[in-house]
């Protein structure tokens, strides 16, 4: 119950701040609303039991990227800060297209999740009846495996549909992620380190400028 | 009960808001903000599928970490490009950046 209330509060915060970021005509306000949106995303990650990602989100997005944006705004001169963030002539068309895409995506999600729930309910009912039927005729030793298989099938069908993965109390998302990162994903991790290095060098070279333009 | 579909709808809303922000804005920095919002919506999708999907290693969260790294690199390079453009053209309006147009 508390989770539901928190989810709706956080979603309202995120969507409201994101809309304010797009609508605002003041670039500094847009940057502040963007930071608030990222903070709300970190709270949603906490709801999803992704504690490590929530902390990374706060450190990287709220702490680094937002500050980088503020520096970018500061280093480019603007005459009147109230009118730094205007719209171009595609504003109305883009709003219509965005609403249409959102409607399509939301409809796809709702329809497919309803279908998934129906299928899971049917499979669970079939599994339960199979359990009962197999239990009723279970006289020999061979039918015990059939009972177990049917029960597993029913449980898997219900579990795959909607219910979250039951996370144990001692679940540590950082430890689990590090196990993946240093195991099967070690090569992509190294590649991303190279990418960050290249981005660092590129940003410095480009930001420094040529001698003439400095 | 909050299920997977709630998170997916929230991510879709964020993605579309980011898309509109990236398309309608006149300032290059604001366009970049919209792109960041879209990347964050994808992160939310990955984490939600990781939470509600099958058991096992948290691959979705690991992918989200990679996306965050790529987004940080992208912002650093893009802001450097915007600063360089500002030095040359003394504004950051995307309407004026048509040097590549033949």
What is the CATH number that goes with domain B4-96? 1.10.287.3510
Q: Are B64 and A187 in contact (CB under 8 A)?
A: no
Summarised one tens digit per residue, pLDDT across range B47-97 is 999 888 877 778 889 999 999 999 999 999 999 999 888 888 877 888 877
Instruction: Provide the domain limits for residue A179.
Output: 172-214
Residue A200 lies in a domain: yes
The answer to whether the CB of A112 falls within 8 A of the CB of B3 is no
**Chain A interface includes B89 (CB < 8 A):** no
Q: Is A27 on the interface with B (CB under 8 A)?
A: yes
Please report the ipTM that was assigned to this predicted complex: 0.91
Residue A121 forms part of a structural domain: no
The CB density around residue A27, as the number of other CB atoms within 10 Å, is 26
Q: What are the tokens at A49?
A: 């039991």
* Cα three-residue angle B37-B41-B47, rounded to 5 degrees: 140
Query: Which residues, 6 or more positions from A190, have their beta carbon under 8 angstroms from its beta carbon?
Result: none
A142 domain-assigned: no
Token duo for residue A183: 């195991």
Contacts of A45 in chain B (CB under 8 A): 44, 47
pLDDT tens, position by position, for chain A (214 residues)? 888 999 999 999 999 999 999 999 888 999 999 999 999 999 999 999 889 999 999 999 999 999 999 998 888 877 776 677 778 788 889 999 999 999 999 999 999 888 888 888 888 787 777 666 655 554 444 444 444 455 555 444 444 445 555 555 456 788 888 888 898 899 999 999 999 999 999 999 988 876 665 5
**Considering A70, A86, A102, which residue would you say is the last residue of a domain?**
A86
Contact A177, A183 (CB under 8 A): no
Interface of B with A in 25-84 (CB under 8 A): 25-27, 29-30, 32-34, 36-37, 40, 43-44, 47-48, 50-55, 57-59, 61-62, 64-66, 68-77, 79-84
Residue labelled with tokens 């994808």: B42
B86 touches chain A (CB under 8 A): yes
User: For residue A112, what are the CA distances in angstroms to A115, A116, A118, A122?
Assistant: 5, 6, 10, 15
CATH number where A14 lies:
1.20.120.1200
| A188 token code pair | 């992509």
Closest-CA residue in chain A for B65?
A53
Q: Which residue among A28, A55, A86 closes a domain? A: A86
Residue A204 lies in a domain: yes
- Among the partner-chain residues B16, B37, B62, the one whose CB lies closest to the CB of A101 is B16
């Amino acid at each position: 119950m508390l989770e539901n209330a928190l989810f709706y509060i956080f979603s309202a915060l995120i969507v409201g701040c994101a809309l304010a970021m797009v609508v605002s005509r003041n670039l500094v306000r847009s940057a502040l609303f963007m930071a608030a949106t990222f903070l709300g995303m970190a709270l949603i990650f906490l709801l999803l039991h992704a504690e490590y990602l929530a902390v990374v989100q706060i450190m990287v997005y709220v702490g680094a990227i937002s500050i980088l944006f503020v520096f970018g705004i500061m280093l480019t001169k603007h005459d009147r800060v109230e009118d730094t963030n205007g719209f171009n002539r595609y504003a109305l068309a883009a709003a219509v297209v965005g609403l249409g895409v959102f409607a399509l995506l939301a409809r796809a999600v709702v329809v497919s999740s309803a279908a998934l729930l129906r299928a899971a309910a049917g499979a669970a009912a079939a599994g339960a009846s199979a359990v009962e039927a197999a239990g009723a005729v279970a006289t020999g030793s061979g039918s015990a495996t059939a009972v177990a298989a049917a029960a597993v099938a029913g449980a898997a069908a219900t579990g795959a549909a909607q219910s979250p993965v039951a996370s144990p109390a001692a679940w540590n998302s950082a430890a689990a992620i590090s196990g993946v990162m240093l195991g099967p994903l070690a090569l992509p991790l190294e590649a991303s380190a190279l990418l960050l290095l290249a981005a660092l060098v590129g940003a410095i070279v480009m930001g420094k400028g040529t001698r003439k333009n400095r | 009960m909050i299920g997977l579909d709630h998170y997916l709808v929230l991510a879709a809303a964020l993605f579309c808001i980011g898309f509109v922000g990236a398309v309608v804005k006149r300032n290059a920095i604001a366009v970049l903000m919209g792109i960041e919002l879209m990347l964050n919506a994808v992160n939310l999708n990955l984490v939600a599928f990781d939470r509600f999907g099958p058991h096992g290693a948290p691959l979705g969260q690991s992918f989200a970490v990679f996306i965050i790294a790529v987004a940080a690199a992208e912002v650093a390079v893009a802001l450097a490009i915007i600063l360089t453009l500002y030095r040359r053209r003394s504004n950051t309006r995307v309407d004026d950046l048509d040097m590549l147009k033949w």
